[in-house]
């Protein structure tokens, strides 16, 4: 096992530079999704009291909407309805947690890979196993970015539907003739849109970096190159 020797030259090469970009992109991926909090509001009026009252349902990561109950103004009985017993529709925690958890694992792997690149450069390039393991992980990560981001993008579309104007049609109290409901507003989900963009960006980065990792493996490099160097010989010139 060679000792740690700091060498920043790999960061100037595509292999290390793209890994830094992957590390940064993974941070944006899980931060924009995992840190989201929002709310949706409806305006409710009764025939007995025409003044609009705001009913609010608060939701956020991991988007278990079926646990987000509606809350009337404190101390106010709106149309005699127990609003807290009514919730949003849907549970999208599996897609959201899969996406965020995978992004966190990618973040940690990028740190470990960068440490290997800049601290144990010779060990990485003289080894046959380390580049191959790096290559396999890169291919798997590319595929999982595609799967997790696609699943999260579909879940986000459903979340927008479940928290949008359709809630007025779905809420049982709003179907009562004496209760008048109007959709109020919902928190902008721009950061969640950004998380999907960064998910596909990560997939592109990892897919592109697969070539540069492949070049470090024995699949690409001639098998006799390392042997000739270890014996002090000079590899024969290649013809054109």
pLDDT mean values, one per 10 residues, the chain (240 residues) = 80 92 97 95 87 92 94 87 91 96 97 94 87 95 98 96 90 89 94 97 96 85 46 45
E-strand stretches of the chain: 37-46, 53-60, 70-71, 179-186
pLDDT score, position 231: 45
- Residues 166, 186: Cα–Cα separation, whole Å: 12
pLDDT score, position 221: 61
Instruction: For 71, list phi and psi in degrees, rounded to 5.
Output: -125, 120
């Amino acid at each position: 096992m060679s000792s740690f020797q700091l060498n920043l030259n790999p960061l100037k090469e595509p292999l290390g530079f793209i890994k830094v970009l992957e590390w940064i992109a993974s941070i944006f991926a899980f931060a924009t999704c995992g840190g989201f909090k929002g709310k949706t509001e409806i305006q409710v009026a009764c025939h007995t009291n025409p003044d609009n009252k705001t009913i609010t349902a608060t939701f956020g990561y991991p988007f278990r909407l079926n646990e987000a109950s509606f809350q009337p103004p404190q101390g106010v009985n709106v149309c005699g309805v127990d609003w807290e017993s009514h919730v949003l529709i849907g549970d999208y925690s599996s897609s959201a947690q899969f996406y965020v958890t995978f992004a966190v694992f990618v973040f940690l792997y990028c740190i470990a890979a960068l440490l290997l690149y800049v601290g144990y450069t010779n060990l990485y390039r003289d080894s046959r196993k380390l580049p191959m393991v790096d290559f396999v992980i890169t291919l798997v990560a590319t595929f999982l970015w595609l799967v997790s981001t696609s699943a999260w993008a579909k879940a986000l579309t459903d979340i927008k539907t479940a928290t949008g104007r359709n809630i007025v049609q779905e809420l049982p109290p709003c179907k009562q003739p004496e209760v008048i409901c109007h959709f109020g507003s919902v928190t902008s989900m721009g950061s969640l849109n950004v998380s999907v963009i960064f998910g596909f960006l990560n997939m592109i980065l990892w897919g592109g970096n697969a070539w540069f990792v492949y070049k470090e493996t024995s699949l690409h490099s001639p098998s006799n190159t390392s042997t000739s160097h270890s014996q002090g010989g000079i590899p024969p010139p290649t013809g054109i």
